[in-house]
Homo-oligomer: A and B are copies of this chain.
Amino acid sequence: MVVVMAADATDEQAGGVVELVRKAGGDAFVSRGVSRTIIGLTGDVDHFATLNLASQPGVSDVVRISVPYKLVSREHRRERSVIRVAGVPIGPDTLTVIAGPCAVETAEQTLESARMAKAAGASLLRGGAYKPRSSPYAFQGLGEAGLRILADVRAETGLPVVTEVVDPGDVDLVASYADMLQVGTRNMQNFPLLQAVGGAGKPVMLKRGMNATIEEWLMAAEYIAQRGNLDIVLCERGIRTFEKATRNTLDISAVPVAQRLSHLPVIVDPSHSGGRRDLVLPLSRAAIAVGADGIIVDVHPRPEAALCDGPQALIESDLRELASVAAHLSPLVGRTRVNPCLTATGARANLVGQLA
């Protein structure tokens, strides 16, 4: 059970709810988000129903939810959500392609990748300035210098920027450059980071932990949502199995399963799933056909020289084929491809019309 406080509710009013619940033998956890305060209740829910919480001062809504994740569940919101990243929609009626280099290495490489991405129909640019790497001796990213490159490339190409943040202490800095914050697979259960991005005022892409169940993934999303941020996109990127032919095993079933349990959009990363360039196109086809709300792929002008994950990066000819695949498959699954030119030039009325 979740109590949603009104926008102008006071701390005392939230405290009153907590006291009432504790007197009734339960427990209550207050989460203060940017725009609203939410109180999660645990204990004997049937008994709480007799407390008439909905009419307590400052309470806006009381939601009874059976699953352990509350705000991100479809019990809380029936309709599937559309998340907008600087105006670019990700949701049930569209197919959004996000592309870019795994890591920002230089201004030239990033710009070249972004142009390749845009030409192939991508409407968002991905690129890592902070790279969590298993080995401390591997390239760790350019840091803020990388963020500046991404901002410059956005100015040049019009593509909004999705980039990873790994340290709660960096969230404000990264959010000042990025249009969407990415939480990576290794950080899916980094709870202080989830809470920090929950309060950063920017949409968040939450990658599934490489060993997480879908339920754990949704509970991680709930950490973000609790801080008042429901602009979350889930990204399936492969789970660890004993199969060695692929870097990870794309759990394609996770897309429809997560979409049934949660109202949040679900996209697929075929590049990190397979870890092989030759699998990106077949896995993209599978992702679109299964009903993903978008895909995110690595591109690189010269994969053989990439500082990170070169073996899985697409080159120009692959991207053309991917664009063609997306164009042909989207209508079959009832989706409009998001057109980067339109969104970038502000002619969004058109697109919104298509989606209505």
Chain A residues within CB distance 8 Å of chain B: 27, 29, 31, 40-42, 68-70, 132-140, 166-170, 186-187, 189-193, 210-211, 213-216, 219-220, 222-223, 226, 239-246, 249-257, 260-261, 273-274, 278-279, 282-283, 285-291, 328-329, 332-333
| Copies of this chain, whole number | 4
Q: In the complex, are the beta carbons of B253 and A283 less than 8 A apart?
A: yes
Closest chain B CB from A140 CB (angstroms) = 8
Kindly identify which residue among B169, B192, B214, B288 contacts A166, using a CB–CB cutoff of 8 Å: B192
Query: For the complex, what is the distance from the CA of A190 to the CA of B29, rounded to whole Å?
Result: 26
| A168-B169, A250-B253 known; A211 vs B213 contact (CB < 8 Å) | no
- Contact with A135, one of B193, B214, B219 (Cβ below 8 angstroms): B219
Please tell me if the beta carbons of A239 and B250 are within 8 angstroms of each other in the complex: no
> Do B285 and A222 have beta carbons less than 8 Å apart?
no
Q: Which residues of B contact A220 (CB under 8 A)?
A: 134
Given A29-B137, A134-B216, 14 further pairs, Cβ under 8 A: A29-B140, A136-B222, A166-B190, A211-B242, A213-B244, A214-B245, A239-B241, A240-B242, A243-B251, A249-B249, A253-B273, A257-B279, A260-B278, A285-B290
Q: How far is the CA of A228 from the CA of B278 in the complex (A)?
A: 32
Can you list 24 A-B pairs with a CB-CB distance of less than 8 A?
A134-B189, A136-B222, A136-B226, A166-B192, A169-B169, A169-B192, A190-B190, A211-B242, A213-B242, A213-B244, A214-B243, A245-B253, A245-B261, A249-B249, A250-B251, A252-B286, A253-B273, A253-B274, A256-B278, A256-B279, A282-B289, A285-B290, A289-B289, A289-B290
Assess the B254–A282 pair: CB atoms within 8 A.
Answer: no
Chain B residue numbers with a CB within 8 Å of A40 are 136-137
| A250–chain B nearest beta-carbon distance, Å | 6
Taking a contact as CB atoms under 8 Å apart, the answer to whether A135 and B252 are in contact is: no
A42 to B, closest residue via Cβ: B137
A304 to B283, CA, bound (A): 34
Q: How far is the CB of A23 from chain B (nearest CB, A)?
A: 18
A69 to B211 CA separation, bound complex (whole angstroms): 23
Tell me the bound Cα distance from A31 to B251 in angstroms.
37
In the complex the two chains form, what is the Cα distance from A27 to B215 in whole Å? Answer: 36
**In the assembled complex, which residues on chain B have CB atoms less than 8 Å from the CB atom of A239?**
241, 243, 249
Q: Which 8 A-B pairs have CB atoms at the shortest separation, nearest pair first?
A: A211-B211, A289-B289, A167-B192, A40-B137, A285-B289, A286-B290, A186-B189, A286-B286
Give the chain B neighbours of A193 by CB distance below 8 A.
190
Q: Decide: A219 and B251 in contact? CB cutoff 8 A.
A: no
A134 → chain B, closest Cβ, in Å? 5
**Residues of B contacting A287 in the complex (Cβ-Cβ under 8 angstroms):** 286
Nearest B residue (CB) for A251? B249
The CA of A189 and the CA of B193, in the complex, are separated in Å by 13
B166 pairs with A191, CB closer than 8 A: yes
Residues in B with CB closer than 8 Å to A279 are 253, 256-257
B-chain residues with CB within 8 Å of residue A27 when the two chains form the complex: 139
